[in-house]
Amino acid sequence: MKQYHTHTVPGDVGKYVLLPGDPGRVPLIAAHLEDAKHIATNREYVTYTGWLDGEKVSVTSTGIGCPSSAIAVEELYRCGADTFIRVGTSGSLQPGTKSNDLAIVTGAIRHEGTSSHYMPIEFPAVCDLEVVTAMRTAVNRLGVRYQVGISHSKDSFYGEVEPERSAISEELKDLWRAWQIGGAICSEMEISTICVVSSILRARAGGIMAMHGEGEFGPLDGLIVAAVESVKELIKIDKERGR
Q: What is the pLDDT of residue 98?
A: 97
Domains by residue range for the chain, with CATH: 16-240 (3.40.50.1580)
Given this model, what pLDDT does residue 64 score?
98
Which parts of the chain sit beneath pLDDT 70? none
Can you tell me the distance from the alpha carbon of 29 to that of 160, in angstroms, rounded to the nearest whole number? 28
Q: Give the pLDDT confidence score for residue 228 in this predicted structure.
A: 98
Which DSSP state fits 178? Answer: H
Q: What digits encode the pLDDT tens for the residues 126-165? A: 999 999 999 999 999 999 999 999 999 999 999 888 999 9
CA–CA distance, 27 with 208 (Å, rounded to integer): 18
User: What pLDDT is recorded for position 235?
Assistant: 98
